Amino acid sequence: MPAKSRPVVAVVLIAAVVAAVVWVTVWGTRTGSEPEGPAATSGSAEPVVAADGGAARIAELYESELSDVQVQGAGRVVRLLSDDVEGDRHQRFILELEGGMTLLVAHNIDDFPRLDGLRLGDEVAFNGEYEWGELGGTIHWTHRDNHGDHADGWLEWGGRRYW
């Protein structure tokens, strides 16, 4: 092989390895059974949530006044609020976590399914972005990111995953 073509081969090999790593990172953990777009899916898999429903981690974030942190947790619905209709519409409700801390959940319903029939006392698990607030904070980004710019989130309620 001529000396001039060796660097080209090396660059092509490096590019192939990088592409393979990116592909495995992005697509390698998908099972193929996940929906491609907005969905409310039935599933038997339990959410991976800390034994305390994520309350300890969220309490740490609250005490530190930190925001923009992806969290998972679960709580009991203690208040149903009217939809936020300014800009993208959001279904809103308050969850009480283990230990009594409360969080506002703001779930985008313009592009993703609403939790129809949600009632006081229902248990809801979540994966979303925590935003600090004086009253406990807000969980949003509880849905897929169709543009790939943000971590996917979800809500689980009544045996279904909403994202």
User: Would you say residue 79 has pLDDT above 80?
Assistant: yes
The total number of residues written for the chain in this structure: 163
CB-based contact 72:51 (threshold 8 Å): no
Looking at the 3D structure of the chain, how many domains does it have? Answer: 1
Summarize pLDDT for 88-121 with one digit per residue, the tens: 999 999 999 999 999 999 999 988 899 999 999 9
Whether residue 29 is contained in a domain is answered as: no
Question: In which domain, by residue range, is 97 found?
Answer: 40-162
73: domain CATH number is 2.40.50.140
Stretch (H or E) spanning 129: strand 123-131
Model confidence, pTM = 0.69
Whether residue 14 is contained in a domain is answered as: no
